Chain A
Amino acid sequence: MKAKVYLGRTILAILVTMVSTSMALGHHSVAASFDMSEETIVSGTVKSIEWINPHARVFLDVINAENEFEVWTAWLSGANMLLRRGWGSSDLPIGEPITVNGFRARNGSNEMYGGKIRLLDGRTLFSGVPSDER
């Protein structure tokens, strides 16, 4: 699986070796609107979050590889699922640098389905269905 990377150039070289993200999100296919043949990796800072059901969203301020400013949206599971996975809305404070692994919208917009978010302190937050609810 190829990976597209949108982030500051300095850490680009590190992330191109990324393995595929496991999503398997549940009751409807993600692939209908997100291209899951190619992984997308976005690094930026948390602009805002919507901690709601059926899908939460994280908005990121991003500088792309051309040094242009962009806002990206990462779609996640719903707040219920995230809470049961150990997430809390305060885990993603505004301004927090994060890296999101996921799959870009088929319409080419700066939106992605985020499967995995890495925080600056090293924690990795998984989206998707908790393993004990498979």
Chain B
Amino acid sequence: MANYRLTMLIGQLHRAVTSGIPLVVVGLFSIQPVYAQSSSLGGFDDSVCPDNAYAVFHQCALEAAKTADPPRTLGGRPDFSGNWLRRAWAFEDFEAHPKNPDDFGGPSAIVDPVDGKYPLQLWAIAVNQKNIDAYIHQNAACFLSGPAGTMYMTSRFTFLQDDQHIVMIGEQLNPHPSRIIPVDGRPHIGDISLWNGDSRGHWDGDTLVIESPNHNAKYFLDQRGRFITDEAHIVERMTWIDSNTIHYSATFDDANVFTQPFTIAFAFRRNTIDEGEIWEEACFETNGDPMKLYRSTGKKVFSGISGAEARELKAAWEASQ
């Protein structure tokens, strides 16, 4: 059987070589990568804020929101329902980073502070590097990315809304990214630890504000091993800008890790490229063979750093200085 297969294989390779592959190869090399990066990250002319570059979009959206006239729910709240594509590379690196075989690259997603730098405390820099060396990204093991990470890890979303809830259904890694967020004033669940936190929404004028305490922080914020503790305060804000655009921002405040709060911002663009249907994309925890590959590198899945652990690490680092 093996000899037969080998004979067949040799014949097929011979056929490949003698039937034009060299010509095909020459043509192949002229094909440019489809991920070439423009300065605007691909703008949207049908939006009042067409530029996807984070800082540019953020400033434009803050102004546009002042005169926006959103469609409204029966209860009079801005209606985000529809099919959307997030436009962000924050999942690779919050800060500006070049294009390479593993990254699309792009400018910093951090709009505050305005220098676009991640405001990491000195002690945490070493921990951050250790994270990169010792752990694999949670999504590789089909785990979640936290309330804000869910919004920039997944590309396709359907938002559904009534006056009691907003439901966010994402495709990648589904059904995990789905979020069902009450907006009716009910209290947080309370004594619980969840991957995406205990999200509740409320309205600040026409902006939906989502707060998500009780998250487990067992996730990297990006593919650079950046982290928060379970004591971090995460506030997301969503504002309707025009019929094709939602302004999204997330502010991370964690005195254990950062020198100051920081905010990322990006656009959700209405999906006009297809019908926007969300398909099943099952991602089963520790998805078998891929996990064997990850584990063969000696890396483990990140298990998080609690606030108490962070304070111990910080004290140890300060004592060593």
Q: Which A residues lie within 8 Å of B282 (CB)?
A: 53-54
- Produce 1/0 per residue, A19-42, CB < 8 A to B: 111111111111111101000000
Interface contact A36-B101, CB-CB below 8 Å: yes
Q: Are B140 and A61 in contact (CB under 8 A)?
A: no
Contact status A8-B281, CB under 8 Å: no
Task: Indicate with 1 or 0, residue by residue over A50-73, a CB within 8 angstroms of chain B CB atoms.
Answer: 000111010001110000010000
- Which of B9, B41, B85, B171 contacts A45, CB < 8 Å? B9
Tell me the smallest distance from the CB of B91 to a CB of chain A, in Å: 6
A105 within 8 A of B: yes
Contacting B at CB under 8 A, from A82-117, are 84, 95, 97, 99, 103, 105-107, 109, 111, 115-116
Of the candidates A11, A26, A78, the one whose C-beta lies within 8 Å of that of B21 is: A11
Indicate whether A27 sits within 8 Å of B153 (C-beta atoms), given known contacts A32-B299, A54-B283.
Answer: yes
Residues in B neighbouring A107, C-beta threshold 8 A: 293, 296-297
C-alpha gap A93/B288 in the complex (Å)? 25
The answer to whether A27 and B293 have CB atoms under 8 Å apart is: no
- Nearest chain B CB to A22's CB is how many angstroms away? 3
Whether A106 lies near B296 (C-beta < 8 A) is yes
B226 to chain A, nearest CB (A): 13
Q: Nearest chain-B residue to A116 (Cβ)?
A: B28
Contact B13 A8 (CB under 8 A): yes
Contact of A32 among B19, B33, B153, B297 (CB under 8 A): B297
- What separation, in Å, do the CA atoms of A114 and B25 have in the docked complex? 16
- With beta carbons under 8 angstroms apart, the residue of B8, B104, B281, B297 that contacts A106 is B297
Residues of B within 8 Å of A, CB-based: how many?
Answer: 69
Give the shortest distance, in Å, between B164 (CB) and chain A (any CB): 30
A61 touches B5 (CB 8 A): yes
Other-chain residue from A22, A61, A105 in contact with B34 (beta carbon distance below 8 A): A22
Whole-angstrom distance between the alpha carbons of A109 and B296 in the complex? 10
**In whole Å, how far is A42's beta carbon from the nearest beta carbon of chain B?**
12
B101 touching A22 by the CB < 8 A rule?
yes
Q: Is the CB of B13 within 8 A of A95?
A: no
In angstroms, Cα B31 to Cα A23, docked, is 14
User: Which of A43, A75, A133 is in CB contact (< 8 Å) with B156?
Assistant: A133
Closest to A129 in B: B155
With contacts A53-B281, A63-B10 taken as known, whether A27 is within 8 angstroms of B154 at the C-beta atoms is yes
- Write the residues of chain B forming the contact surface with A, with a CB cutoff of 8 angstroms: 2, 5-6, 8-10, 12-17, 19-25, 27-29, 31, 33-35, 41-42, 85, 87, 89, 91-92, 99-104, 136-140, 142, 145, 153-156, 171-173, 223, 273-274, 279-283, 287, 289-290, 293-294, 296-297, 299
Please list the residues of chain A having a beta carbon within 8 angstroms of any beta carbon in chain B. Answer: 7-8, 10-11, 14-15, 17-34, 36, 43-45, 53-55, 57, 61-63, 69, 75, 78, 80, 84, 95, 97, 99, 103, 105-107, 109, 111, 115-116, 118, 120, 122, 124, 126, 128-129, 131-134
A-B contact pairs, 26 of them (CB 8 A): A14-B21, A14-B22, A14-B25, A22-B34, A24-B103, A24-B104, A29-B92, A29-B102, A29-B137, A29-B140, A33-B293, A33-B296, A36-B100, A36-B102, A54-B142, A54-B172, A54-B282, A55-B290, A63-B6, A63-B13, A69-B5, A106-B297, A107-B297, A122-B24, A132-B85, A134-B87
